[in-house]
Structure formats: C-alpha cells, structure tokens
A and B are shown apart, each in its own frame.
Chain A
C-alpha cells in the first residue's frame, strides 16, 4: 500500500454535507473489474453536463463551469476540503479509488461515514478529522486566497496553514502506523495465523454448525 507521511498541496472544495459515495463515483463506473482509472469520473454527475459512460473518453465532455473543482484555481488540488458525514452510503471502495486516482492525497472534513473512512486507509488516502469551526476557518481562508495550500504531517498529526494555524487531529494508532509505513495489512494479519487457527479449533468444538455447511 502507498505510504503517507507528510503532504503539502493545493486545497480544493466540496462544500456540502452528507456527500454520498454515489455522488463521489456513480454506479455505472462500478462495472469495471479494475482498481484504477476512476479519476476522470470522480463526482461525474456534478462535474459534467452530460451522463458519463464507463470506458468513454472524458476529455471532450461538456464540463459544468459552476462545479468548483472545474475552476482553474483548483486545478491540481491534492487536498479535498469537505463537510460533515463525507462518504456516506454505499461501501464502494471505488470512492477512495476515484479520489486517489484524481490526485487527492488527503481529505479534511468534520466527520466521515464509517465504511468510507475505513476504506481510505487501505489506499494511502488520509481522511483528516478537524472540528467544524476549524473546517470553517479553512474554507474561509481558501475562499480568500488563490493557490491556497495546506501542510499535513501524519506523524505529528497536524494540519498547518501558512497563516500560522496548527490544527491537531486524532486517529487510531494502528491505522497511523499502517499508513506511515505503507504496510500490507493482510501480511500483518497472516503473521497471526497461529492465533486464527487456535480460535477456529476452539470455535469448531463449541459451534460446529458454523463450519462445513456450505459446499
């Protein structure tokens, strides 16, 4: 997995609450059996004026000029500034895949839906949780300043503005370690193979009906 240590980058906005994963990547693109290539269809229904089709070239599609991320000043944004309950709805991991493929390395929001939050860590995408007041400050600064950039330090768990704000954020130690080192979680779990087998042996004695029924 891709590691995340520190990142400095341009901030782009998604200024609405409860952004769902259908909005992040609409269902027709879920027909793909690949993990990559979802970036051009990130926020497809908001971003373009026509209806996107899987596999179609997006370079000549009519874009929605009112969608902020289409504006020149946000071109190349790598930090998405968002509102509360970001990523609600479907469990589709295509949502973080699309954000990452578009070029985002981190999302900053006051809260996330649980499954989306979890999925981000599997893909080197850092979901930062700040308070609503802190997010308001960042939105205000971004609105006021062209080329607005932020610095994120995962080890220190801070988001730093050029104006001198240093906002701390919390996350689980395990997730932090995996992301900092880009660890393969499956490989880590397989190091516990003996404990898993011991659990299974014990469980098969206590609850034998859980095993063997499906063939």
Chain B
C-alpha cells in the first residue's frame, strides 16, 4: 500500500462512516464559534428542538464586529455604540450561556480573534479536526490539524451532530526549499505562493506546506501561511508535526499535562506525510527567489515583489485576465508600469488573524522603534490578535514604541481586516495592510488595500508610501 499524506491520516482518523454515494461522515473535535456566523445556527437548533451534541468541544468568543477603541471596549457589550452589532454580540453571550458553551467574553483574558485564540489557549492540538464559521480556519492547520471554514448551516450541523458530511479533497503539496532572505517573512512566502498558483489554484485541494522554509519557520509563521491557504482557493492548509509543534503546545491551558501529554505526543509524532505518499498536485518554489511581496490589485493573486512595477495591460495576453486587470487598476487608481514603491498610503493596518500574533507585533515594533509615522498618513492601527498578545506586547513595551511613533494601540479584534466595526477605509484611500484580502470594498466602501507583511506595513507607515523594508536599518531582522 502506498504511503499516506498528513491529510490522508487526518481524514482516516476522523471517518465515522463512508457512504455508498461517495459522501462521508467526518467527526469534528473542535468547534470554534464567533458572533457573526452563529446566531442563525443556534436559532435553527432551537426551531428544530435540538441541543448541542457535546459541550466540551465548543469554544466561543466575539471578534468580528467589536470595537477596538479602548473607551468603548471598557464599557463592555452594553456600551457598544452600534446597536445592531451590540445585539449580535449579546446574542452570542446569550446562546453560550443558555447551552453552557465555554465563551471568552468581550474583555475577558483569553478573548481574541478566533484563529489566534484557539492555538494560544491550546484548544487547538495536533491531529484534531477543527472547524469554524470562518474561512480562515485553515490557520489551525499549522499545528497539523485538519481545519477548515464552514457556513452557518454547517455550524448548526456540527452543533447538533458533532459531524459534517464531507467529501475527501485532493492532496496538494507546496514545497519551498532554501533559505529566506533578510526581510522576507512568512507573509511574503504565502503571497508568493498565491501569486504563483492563483486564487483558485488550490480549489478542491488540501494543501500541505513542506520543505526547509516551513521547517525553519516558527509556529506563528506557519499559522500566517496556513491562514491564507483559502486565498489560494484551498479550504485546508497544513504543516506536519515536528519538535516546534510539540514545544508550542506544551503547557498551554487546554493541553494535557504529565502522562497524558506524553501519550498525546507519541501520537502527534505520527502526524507527518509518509515518504512514499503521492500527491495529486505538486508545487515548488525557491526561497531565494522570494522578495517582500505587495498586492497591487483586488485579488490576492494580484501580487508582486516590492521592487517590481504594476503590470501593464499589454503584458497580459489573456483577454479575460486583461479585463480583470483593467478593472482592478481602475478601482485601485493605479497606472500600469507604475513602481510599486511609489504608491502613497493613507492608512496602515497591522492586525488580523493573518498577522496579529506577538511575533508580528515585534516585527512591526522593530521598524517603528525610534521613528515617526509620516505626516501624510492619517492613521496607523495596531490591533493585537488577542488579550494575551496584547498583554505580552505591553509587558515587552511594544505598545510604547507604537504610540511614541504616532500609531494607535488598540483592543483585540478583527478590526479593519473586514471593517465590520468603525475601523475602515474611506473611498479612494490606500492602505498598507497585514490582513488577507484586498477585495473591492473589503476594508471599507471604495477602499484600496495593499497586502504585505507587518514589517513592510510599519515601514510604509514611516515612509508614507510603500517601501522595501530591506532599505530600513534595523527593520529587516
């Protein structure tokens, strides 16, 4: 028998039933819940007279639509100024209270962006199936989990049955060998991958990220990479277990201790792809060829090295793609051929489930330290991914570095990544953003998003325009 991939192993170990029609019933170990995609699911449960199948599988927190402004946050749920949002967060609290689901409430230690919270609390552990009504759930795959986003009907399905009806995906391996250059980060690696395979390149696939670049990468870096698998079309992104995975998990709140931890570790060690396993699709990139990346268009695949220029219509032979390019350039207010580092930025956003962990905060602070935000930049939002990240950053004095540079240090939440709260771009404004989507209107109606790494975003804040962080002393560590 041919060897199995990591995905094959995770799939096999969660198979409850294989049906004759090709569909399967898959068991879900961890269900992460937030305020936006759950209310209709809880309502569905009630209407059908059903109850959650299991309680100790669920973990909830508000993140998507809460304010990041300290004054408003201090006033709690009752003090939320947007009444529609307040009702939604209150509904999450009410549903969790009613059913007895563990929730980290709005200002409680532990609260944070769902995909920051799960791993940092140890609610996510290797070998688990993890789902959440959010497409960036693939983040958890950095810990060798089978993790993916689901819709609200499936949130209800998991609540009621602890299972999902699923069809096995194809296996894709993205291998990046070599050593990343100075100033080149996990964000640059994943943007380069998306640039190569396209925004639909991973459709119907589960991606395993392999090669020396990911072995050398921290767990937080792997989370940044897996997080954006969906931006390449793949619901699932994963990295195999190694010593770093186990070191990361040890001692976290929900991770077992003592003998049970040792028992878990011996199983976790098996969560790697067999050497003779075969992938349906293989993609290879070379680390040394990856420069800091910046998106210039309205899809994450519209990305280039910071040293490049915005593509011209003449360079695009495919008619459909040319139409897309023309529309993107018009929306972004850019000219083909324009140098990417000539693009001025109005606002900067450092945060999101992609880049709001402590290493991201440190990378941004290393650039901001002793520098000032350019006078042309209206606002720089630094939004830590969780209460724990915020506390750690403050213990390290990073908040002071940011505020002394003229940046806003905020409360944890999704913030301007999707702009459901008050943090948003005005029409026509360019934003250097560490988030994951540069879609039209994503960060505010008419807003223009440029995705990049935390260090690059901090450098843009200081320079007032997109700039190669490698030209900043101390910035490219």
Contacts and interface: CB of A to CB of B under 8 A. Distances in A.
B150 A115 contact: yes
A200 B17 CA distance: 12
B37 A91 contact: yes
A215 B160 CA distance: 18
Interface in B83-106: 84-85, 87-88, 91, 102
A123 interface: yes
B27 A203 contact: yes
Interface residues of A, number: 65
Interface in A197-213: 199-200, 203, 206-213
A85 interface: yes
A27 B17 contact: no
A17 B324 contact: yes
Interface in A16-73: 16-18, 20, 22-23, 26-28, 30-35, 45, 51, 54-55
A33 B91 contact: yes
Nearest to A193: B161
Contacts of A173: 21-23
Contacts of B125: 209-210
Interface in B144-158: 148-154, 156-157
Nearest to A88: B199
A113 interface: yes
23 contacts: A16-B323, A16-B324, A18-B200, A31-B65, A35-B40, A85-B199, A88-B199, A89-B439, A91-B150, A111-B203, A115-B150, A177-B21, A184-B48, A185-B153, A192-B163, A196-B27, A199-B27, A206-B267, A207-B264, A209-B125, A209-B256, A214-B57, A214-B58
Contacts of B359: none
A111 B233 CA distance: 11
A195 B320 CA distance: 49
Contact of A212 (B56, B156, B160, B165): B56
A28 B200 contact: no
A117 to B, nearest CB: 9
B366 to A, nearest CB: 31
Interface of A: 16-18, 20, 22-23, 26-28, 30-35, 45, 51, 54-55, 83-85, 88-93, 96, 111, 113-115, 118-119, 122-123, 172-175, 177, 184-186, 188-190, 192-193, 195-196, 199-200, 203, 206-215
Nearest to B125: A209
Interface stretch (B128-136, B208-216, B378-386, B456-464): B128-136
Nearest to B84: A31
Contact of A89 (B135, B160, B163): B135
B28 to A, nearest CB: 10
